[in-house]
Amino acid sequence: MRDRIYALLTTAVGLFLLVGGIVALSDDTAKCGSQTISEGGTCTETSWRTGPSNERTLAEQRGENTKTTWFLLGGGAFMLTGGAFWTYTQFRKRPADPPHA
């Protein structure tokens, strides 16, 4: 029973990532975190591991957002396909055991 639930959850998460990737791909605004960058603006991100900040222009940030979106689409498609197959294998009707002679 637990495998069936995990299979359904994997399929649902894959679908969620795929839809999120499609929505993000249709949005061509550049975002730095949750803030929208306007023309001439820059995005400054500081990594807690490396310390120094990373500054990107509007075009560079758009490219970074697009790359992230393609990862969402690819990961979502992979999870959706794998989860759907896993769900199918968990819910398919198994043939009854043949009578033993």
Query: Cα separation of 66 and 60, whole Å?
Result: 10
Residue 43 included in any domain: no
Domain containing 80 equals 2-28+53-91
Per-residue pLDDT tens digits for 3-42: 999 999 999 999 999 999 999 888 878 888 778 888 888 8
Q: How many CA atoms lie within 13 A of 11 on its CB side?
A: 14
Residue with the larger pLDDT of the pair 42 and 94:
42
Helix (H, G, I), strand (E, B) or coil at 40: coil
pLDDT (0 to 100) of residue 27 = 83
Residue 45 included in any domain: no
pLDDT (0 to 100) of residue 79 = 96
Residue 18 included in any domain: yes
pLDDT at 98 over 80: no
CB of 37 closer than 8 Å to CB of 30: yes
Phi, psi values for residue 44, rounded to 5°: -115, 120
Per-residue pLDDT tens digits for 44-70: 877 776 667 778 888 888 888 888 899
Query: Cα separation of 56 and 43, whole Å?
Result: 5
Query: Cα separation of 52 and 33, whole Å?
Result: 17
Domains: count for the chain? 1
Residue 97 included in any domain: no
Residue with the larger pLDDT of the pair 59 and 94:
59
